[in-house]
Each structure stands twice: as C-alpha cells, then as structure tokens.
Structure 1
Amino acid sequence: MTAVTATTPDAFRPAMHYAARDTWLNDPNGLIFHDGLYHLYYQNNPEGSVWGNMSWGHATSADLVTWTEHPVAIACDEQEEIYSGSIIFDRHNTSGFGTGSRPPLVAVYTSAFKPASEHKGVQAQSLAYSLDGGYTWTKYADNPVLNRGSSEFRDPKVFRYESDAERYWVMVAVEAQDFKVVLYSSPDLKNWELLSTFGPANATGGVWECPDLFPVPVDGDPENLKWVLTVNLNPGGPNSGSAGQYFVGDFDGVTFTSSSTVTEGAQDPDKLCEYQWLDWGRDYYAAVSFSDVPDGRRLMIAWMNNWQYAIEIPTAPWRSPMSLVREVSLQNVDGNPRLVQHVAQELTSLPAGNPPFTASPGEIAEGKHILAGAAGSVQRIEASLAPGTAEEFGLIVRGHGTRGTRIGIRPAEGRIVVDRRESGQTAFHESFASIDSAPIQPTANSYEVTIYVDQCSVEVFAQGGQVTLTELIFPNSTSTDVSVYASGGAATINSLTITQYA
C-alpha cells in the first residue's frame, strides 16, 4: 500500500497516495498502461523540493496501489525544460523510431526553451522515444516538431483517432493565456496540421492548462458515445485557486463541439457554480487520463495541491502527492450526461489493518460526538446520513477531541462543505484555512458519502461519485479521532462503516 518509503520520519507522507521520495512533483504526465505496468510520469525537480529544473519523474505500478520510483526519465538541460505532455505506444511504428517487431513508446512534451536555445522564450512541442519499455529515452534530433512561435503553447495530450475512412494521431494542447484548446493531426507524430480550436468557454479565471479529450459511453451504452474535454485552469476554480473543468460533446475527428457550454467567451462570475468541475476541492489539478488501460476503463489521476500555496505546504523532504487513481464514467443526471467518479477498483480492495468499525443506525443529537473505536489515520469511511432538523450535519475526521477536518451537509443551502480551519497546521499560507463547498441534492432523502482519509488528505465522493472534493490537510499524528456532529438540530445515521488501513 505504501507508495515510497521516506529515508527520514515524515508524519505527512501518504500511505495510499504516490509521492516522490525526496523531491518536488506536480502535473502527472505520460500516463500509460504498457507491458503489464501502469507508468506514471510527472513534472519533477530532481534537485529540490520546490518548482524548478522541470524534468519528467517516473514511477510504475502493477496494481495502482504500490508504486516504484525510478530515475528521472526525461531530464532538462541547458537548452530546455521539459514541461507536461503525454506518451503513446506507436504500435505501427508510424514515427520510424522503432521497427515493426520493436515499436517504440513516444513521448510528446512541451519544450520550454531557455535563453541558451535558438528558440528562447518559446514553448513548442517535441518528441522523445523509448525502446526499452519507458525507462530510458532519446530526444528526437529535429525537435521541436510543432512550433507556433508562442510563449504559452503547451501540455500536449496525443491519442490515436480511427474511423472507417481515416487513421491519424490527434494532439490536444492549449494556448494557455488565450483560454483556447488547439487540435492538430499527424500521420507520423513529426508533421502536424491544425484541425480546429475550442474556446474560450465557461471558466476563464486563469490560464488554461493540461487538456485531455476522450470518448465515454453514457450509462455504459456503447451506442451512445460522447466525448469529454477536460481543461485545467489556474486560478479560477470554484473554491479559489487551481481547478479542472470539463465539457461534454462530440468529436468528429476534426472539431470538438460542446453540448455543456454555459458561457461563451469571458467567464461570467455569476455562473461559476453552473460549470462542470472535475473536483470542487482546492487540491485536484492537472488531471489527465491513462492511455491503453485494459477493459477500456478511463482512469484519471491529478496533482493533489494548489498553486496558491503549493511550494509552502509543510512536507519534507518531498513536496506534493498525487490523488488516488479514479475511474470516470458518464451518467445521465437530470437529463444531461455528467462525469461520475469512483476510486479505481484496485484501491477499493486494499487489505484492512483491523476489523471495520460499524456504527448503529440512529440519531445524531445536536453537538459533536466522538465515535469510540473508530480512530485512525488512514481510512475509508462510507456513510449514509439523513437530514432532520439540523442546519448542518456530518463527520469530523483526523480529529483531536472535536477539532479536525469537518465534512458536512447543509440541506437548506444544498451544499456539502469541507472545513479545514481546524484541520491541523494551516498558518503556512493565508488562504489555506478554508471552507470549501459544492452543490449536492439528497437521493431518497439521504446523503451518501465515501471519504478516503490519508496522512495529509481527504478525498470525498458524494452521491455515488456525482460530486467530489479533494483537500490537503496537515493534522498532528495524534489527531486520529472520528466524530459525527449536528448543529441547529438533529440528523440521522442510516449506516456508517469505517475501514482502517493504518
């Protein structure tokens, strides 16, 4: 279950989430399942615990639970920093980097050119290839392969598009400050032609970054296929700072057409809560999906941090974890297709450290009530709660007494909240001690929540994964209590089970 063991004691190192051993990481890159392993590449400073010297770190896992960290995969040099991008398995060797019997993995990444380069100040797209399964990489001699002369053109996600008539590679990238997704096609990954653009649309409160585009069946029906375009932005999220939004629509091989756009052009602040967000929390950014996942599952992972305070979170010698891997699907919700997210099934079957705690159904009286026998620092909490007269009710996790991280429902407001003002260490940045919220409606007069609690985070999945909130927290190691609470009246526990992992 443990990702990477630190060489020195570290109370905040996650047990269920990946974090680099002793360096900085941010955006996940190059996500692919290949030769029986999930490959997670990521933005990495191999020389320190703050942003800089951008290179691609690398980790692998056979089960999305235990990760092995490898040496830096693609390193920066005097000419360029290696910004975000993606990896494809060029199984037909269209690039010519391999052979028919030994096809290559090809990384398409953003070269952020330094003053020593003839392309100084430009961000352009480049290639590297691997013939040993993704462990060592060779940069293409004729990089960059796509240069718009822009200082903000980045984050290519590449996939294979196939129809009855055509087959080619599609690149989805951004002109970050123009709030625009740009799509290109190529027969060989080296020569690219513009297909179309998308945006500005919906949230434009910060630069657009790290796009992704993929097909998903609605309600599992392969005859009802929709395309999902994800775009991360910084700042401009629904609860301030970094966040990711998505659009649902159609892609014909040339143009993405959204059916879920609320605002064209500049963002309307009054419509912020009407946009579709990948996650309503403060710490789910740069989310992208894995390629070539078995059984056609669409799995995503994100950087679990926020650019508002990213370099100041109190972890050492590492800084920043990844989110848990999530499987995403589309479901009709009130007549519209919406993303629904669940933790990948591999993570739901983690072996428990102790027998689960189960609370008896019953009333939550007004006040805060510690659950005897429920304490823990790494947990999965599954709760069904019903409103009564309470103005707010829910759970408090990683607590000391009745202080801790509060996850509550406010029925009259139609909101779920995560309050981390008393979550532990918060003073390292003025914006960290926050109350963050998302819209929520009851199902059959109850609220269903699943909460994954780790050493420095909570990930909340509500109403069957229709709403998610991801938040960093930094509690004391002794803060392990779990409580239920109600304010302004009473509420009801329908069911409550807590699985302990550590």
Structure 2
Amino acid sequence: MARVIILHAILIQIIILLSKIEAIPSLLTLAYPQIEELCSELKAIDPDRTAFHFQPSKNWLNDPNGPMYYKGLFHLFYQYNPDGPLWGNLAWGHSVSTDLVNWEALDVALDRTDPFDINGVWSGSVTFVAGEPVILYTGIDDQQRNVQNIAFRKNGSDPLLREWSKPGYNPIMLPGGDIDPDNFRDPTTGWFGQDGHWRTAVGANLEGRAEILLYKSQNFQNWTRNEFPLHKSQNSGMWECPDFFPVSLSSKDGLDPSVNTGNIKHVLKVSLMKTLQDYYLVGKYDEKKDVFVPDERYKDDYRTWPMIDYGHVYASKSFFDSKNNRRILWSWVNESDSEADDVKRGWSGMQTFPRAIWLDTDGKQLIQWPIEDIKLLRKHQIQFRDFGLQSGVKHEISGILTSQADVEVEFELPSLEGAESFNNSFLLDPSKLCDEITPSDEGGIGPFGLFVLTSDVEGQEEYTAIYFRIYKSSDRYMTLMCSDLKSSSRREGVYKPAHGAFVGVDISKDKRISLRTLIDHSVVESFVGGGRTCMTMRVYPKHVLTGQTSGLYVFNHGSQEVKIRELNAWEMAKARVNIENDDFISRNYI
C-alpha cells in the first residue's frame, strides 16, 4: 500500500513538471488527446485543499449565513468575495446539498446592488415566516453604516432559491441614537412569541458596552427596538454573529427557534472580536421581559465562559434541521498562512464539517459531534484494541491515507497517582499553558495523544500534536487538552499557535478519555469526551508539496504507561464539494 502511494505521488510530480513545459503537452496530445485533460487536472492539484470540508472552488469565504432545510434540499449561504481570494466585496455565496456532505455551488444569492448594501452584503439569517424563507442581513450602506435589510425569494416554485428580491423600503433597522453605526450587525434567526410578535437579535456596541439588541415585529417587516437588550456585558467588547436557540434538557433532538415551553434552556452564542473566538452561555429566556438570564455560575468575564471551539474557528451559525430533528452548527475556519499564499492558491477559508449539537445531561455544556452523514465517506478501516503504550513510545497507524482520515481512539489510564499539581491560574488561559509546555516534555500522566500530518524524513521533520496531560487539584482531577502547531510546518509565514482547554469530563470516574480527530489535508478537527470539548487547527505541512505522504501516530511521553482500549481509523473518500460547472443537483430541478 505504502509503495503504491509513493509511486503515485512520484508519477504526479513527473506529470506536473511535464505539464508546465508548454511544448510537451502539445506534442503528447497529438497522439493521446486525453493527456491534455490530465495535465490540466494535475496543474490544479493543491495539497492544502480539503477533500470533505465545505469550501468554494475559488475565492474568499468567511461566515456561514442562513443555513436551512427547504423542500428536500439543504442550503448554505456564506460570506463570499466573487472577485478574488482576499476579504472584500462581500456577497452571499450559495450552495445546495441533499446530504450535507456533497454540495453544488449556485450563483451568488445576494450581491451589492442597492444604496443600503452597496458597500457589502454582510452576515445574517434565514427565518421561515408562514412557511416561506425570509432573509435578514446586514448591509454596509452608501454612508458606510451597518444597517439591517430584508430579502424575499423571487420564484415561489423554485426549491433551489436561486433568486432573491430586496424591497426598496430597506433598510428596516437603522443604527440610531446610542448605537455605533460601525458596530451594529448580524441579525439572528427570528423566533415567534406567544404574544404574536416576531423577535430577532442584533449584535451591537453601545458606548464600549457589548449588547445583543432585541427587535420585535408583528409582520416581520416593521421592527421596533425593545427597551432592554436580550443580554449585555461590560467587559468584553463588541459581540458579533450572535446565535440564540432553545435546547432540550431531556433529549438530543433539536428544537425550532420559537419553542419556549417544556423542559428546555436557551443558549446565547456570541463571536468576540477582541479574541476572535466564539463563546456561549446557557440559561433561561424570559419572554415576558424579553431578556436572557444566564445560569448563576457565569460571571461577567468572558475568560470563564465555555467556547464553541478552542481552536481556530469563528462566526459559528446553527440551524434547526427539520428533516432529521436536530440542530446543526457550522463555523468559519480561516487561513493562518499569508495573504500571498491565498492569492497563489486562488482561495481562502472553509467551514468546519457540520456538527450536531445538543445540551449535555448535566445541563451545563453543549455537546458537538460530526453529523452521522460523514460515515458515507468512510472507506478502508484500521482497528486495534487493548494496546499498551509504554513511556516514550510512539506507534504508527499505517495502511490508510492518513492525510484524509477519521480517527477514534479511547485511552485508559492504569492509575491517576502520578498527576501533576494544578494551579487555579491555569483556568484563565490554558492556551498559554499549552504554549509553555511541549508534547515532548515528560509529565506524570501525559503528554499522550496523536501526532498527525507527520514527516519523519531527516532534516524535514514535521508533526502536529493533539494530546492530554492530567493534573490534580485539591478536590478533583483536571484533564488538559492541547494542540501544538510549533512543529507542524517548515513553510515561511505560517501562524503556528498552541491551543488549550480543560476538558469537561470527570476522568476519575473510569480513568478513560476519548479523542476523535478528522484529518483533511490542511484542517484538523478534534472532539474530546464525546464532543464536550472541540478544537480545530489549520496545518500547512511542507512535505506534502513534494508529494511526500503524511504519517499518523499514537504516542505517550508521560512517565506512566497508557493503554489504548480501542482505536478505529478510516480512510475518507473525497466528497463532491462546489466543483465548477457541476450541476449534479440542479439538473434535477430544471
């Protein structure tokens, strides 16, 4: 298997080189016409491009907008620059899917065409009003203000929703009075109250204070600002891309945004410009006062709030999947190499693989897990059980293409006696702690975990580490999760941080910790403790540029043995994602 992969990589490099010599393809195609097509395809080979994550075929992508399920199709709109791979000229890109895995790109849904959005069609949401999808979005108007606009679908018989109309009475919400016109954006999905009024929430900055403003309407077109904000904070700066939704306390099922009865809580998610991270609070929504009241354990200190993802994501957006009765979350994953690299590639940005989300049984934290549909892509499988990792050992997982894989592993600790001492200051900045230690620093219990996207070639070593260390506080054990990118790439101009989080699991209960990792070329997503903690990374190994294959290892650099109870790794097939001129879905609706 390895020899075949290596020979294939060498062949690709030879043909790529030949394809760059203009005379050779011309001569070859005289005898073999298909060579021209092959050379063209191979020129487009991009080792950083993903196989099963959502990204456009070219140009810039950022925030997910208005995801929904409608008449047999999933729709995802997204912030998109139709003119190039750098931020600017923002419009709403649009793609459709039947399974949330394979996607067809359609034409731009909303573009900069009117005075109320001439300088940018920014983020927003879709709400079903009387069964029909309606868009609320932020436009940057001809005065450079953030204003809120509405759009309706043009063709009532088109399930692809290819055309939208923007009425001339836009904007429908203006940044008057105490609202900063530069910081007033991203209306949420609307919800319908028992008083017969619609609500939506908009992120804003009022005299340096973060607020989620609440607006009410009887007809979804004329909106009035509520006397009180849905929620506010004195100490965190601007909140953008808010998301507000109910969650069940007794089921994994998703809920329609308008549900506010029964055994439920609500989640408020905000994207904090100050840190470029997404945080959330769990609490109760008081519809009579139209305010969100977080649970008592939360302080007005964002450093203590849980994050949607402790890695490299932002501007997450969820929707209720009425077909499968679940709530699904998308998040933007930005690049972390240079703008010059983006221009060279011709694209920038992607979305996390869609995640089902629900509230944990303790009612305190969200669980996130790749949607079950990902199993459509699983191919060859490697499995082993009850495998001991002695101190200082790393063990290779071979037999599959490990740069395109889904890996699940459960670690078991024979004892917790060697846990290191815990300092409460660690809680405020676990990423700083992960930056100060390395996956090679021997601890009592840990570091142990995975090395992914590795190269062991002498002088060209690269690896990305995802690992755990166990600490002992005065009354409990604490599990630190780290991702370390310092040795992930030898390319110039790459941002290679360490990410860290303390995992919300009680490891003393059964002395086990699970890790699931999706590896897709330049993006790595990890889920710990069944999805209680998530961490996403961008990785740009240099060795793949020369056709070298990547390695995958489990390792233990702690002083104690760690046992692998079970490991399953699947090679993943390539999904059909936004290929130019590929109308495999829309052809069925023409």
Q: TM-score, normalised by structure 1?
A: 0.86
Matched, 1:406 2:465: yes
- Look up the equivalent residue of 1:27 and give its one-letter code: D
Matched, 1:251 2:285: yes
Residue by residue over 1:163-182, the C-alpha shift from the partner in whole angstroms, topping out at 9 and shown as x without a partner, is 3xx23321111104631111
Per the alignment, residue 97 of structure 1 pairs with none
What percent of counterpart residues are identical? Answer: 27
- Asked if structure 2 preserves the Cα contact closer than 8 Å seen for 1:218 and 1:337, the reply is no
Q: CA distance change for structure 1 residues 291 and 496 in 2, over 3 Å: closer, same or farther? A: closer
How far the C-alpha of 1:129 sits from its partner, in A, is: 1.1
- Look up the equivalent residue of 1:437 and give its one-letter code: G
Residue by residue over 1:59-112, the C-alpha shift from the partner in whole angstroms, topping out at 9 and shown as x without a partner, is 1111010011111110113732111001123226xxxxxxxxxxx432111011
SS at match of 2:197: strand
Matched, 1:486 2:535: no
How far the C-alpha of 1:292 sits from its partner, in A, is: 5.1
Q: Count the aligned residue pairs.
A: 460
Matched, 1:152 2:183: yes
Matched, 1:397 2:439: no
User: Of the candidates 200, 209, 212, which is equivalent to residue 171 of structure 1?
Assistant: 200
Q: Please give the residue correspondences for 1:112-151 in structure 2 after superposition, counting only pairs within 5 Å.
A: 112-113=140-141, 117=142, 120-130=143-153, 131=155, 132-133=158-159, 134-149=161-176, 150-151=181-182
Q: Please give the residue correspondences for 1:103-502 in structure 2 after superposition, counting only pairs within 5 Å.
A: 104-113=132-141, 117=142, 120-130=143-153, 131=155, 132-133=158-159, 134-149=161-176, 150-163=181-194, 166-176=195-205, 178-195=209-226, 196-201=228-233, 204=236, 206-220=237-251, 223-236=262-275, 242-253=276-287, 254-259=290-295, 262-264=298-300, 267=301, 272=303, 274-281=304-311, 283-291=312-320, 293-305=322-334, 311=339, 314=342, 316-333=345-362, 336-347=363-374, 349-354=375-380, 356-365=381-390, 366-387=392-413, 390-401=445-456, 403-412=462-471, 414-424=479-489, 427-429=492-494, 432-440=495-503, 441=505, 442=507, 443-475=509-541, 476-477=543-544, 478-489=548-559, 490-502=561-573
- Asked if structure 1 preserves the Cα contact closer than 8 Å seen for 2:462 and 2:490, the reply is no
How far the C-alpha of 1:337 sits from its partner, in A, is: 2.3
- Asked if structure 1 preserves the Cα contact closer than 8 Å seen for 2:450 and 2:465, the reply is yes
Greater CA radius of gyration, 1 or 2?
A: 2
- Asked if structure 1 preserves the Cα contact closer than 8 Å seen for 2:209 and 2:235, the reply is no
Q: More strand by proportion, 1 or 2? A: 1
- Asked if structure 2 preserves the Cα contact closer than 8 Å seen for 1:109 and 1:127, the reply is yes
SS at match of 1:437: strand
How far the C-alpha of 1:426 sits from its partner, in A, is: 5.4
How far the C-alpha of 1:310 sits from its partner, in A, is: 7.8
SS at match of 1:433: coil
Residue by residue over 1:179-213, the C-alpha shift from the partner in whole angstroms, topping out at 9 and shown as x without a partner, is 11111111122111223314443971x53110011
How far the C-alpha of 1:496 sits from its partner, in A, is: 0.7
| Larger RCO (CA under 8 A, 6+ residues apart) | 2
- Look up the equivalent residue of 2:79 and give its one-letter code: Q
Matched, 1:63 2:99: yes
Residue by residue over 1:447-490, the C-alpha shift from the partner in whole angstroms, topping out at 9 and shown as x without a partner, is 11111110111111100111111111112433421111111323
SS at match of 1:25: strand
Residue by residue over 1:428-456, the C-alpha shift from the partner in whole angstroms, topping out at 9 and shown as x without a partner, is 24xx2122111024251011111111011
**In structure 1, how many angstroms separate the alpha carbons of the residues matched to 2:511 and 2:67?**
40
How far the C-alpha of 1:138 sits from its partner, in A, is: 1.1
**In structure 2, how many angstroms separate the alpha carbons of the residues matched to 1:91 and 1:6?**
49
SS at match of 1:350: helix
Q: TM-score, normalised by structure 2?
A: 0.73
**In structure 2, how many angstroms separate the alpha carbons of the residues matched to 1:458 and 1:312?**
22
How far the C-alpha of 1:214 sits from its partner, in A, is: 0.7
Q: CA distance change for structure 1 residues 381 and 292 in 2, over 3 Å: closer, same or farther? A: closer
CA-based RMSD of the aligned residues comes to: 2.4
Q: CA distance change for structure 1 residues 374 and 393 in 2, over 3 Å: closer, same or farther? A: farther
SS at match of 1:415: strand
**In structure 2, how many angstroms separate the alpha carbons of the residues matched to 1:202 and 1:496?**
46
**In structure 2, how many angstroms separate the alpha carbons of the residues matched to 1:437 and 1:362?**
27
- Asked if structure 2 preserves the Cα contact closer than 8 Å seen for 1:158 and 1:169, the reply is no
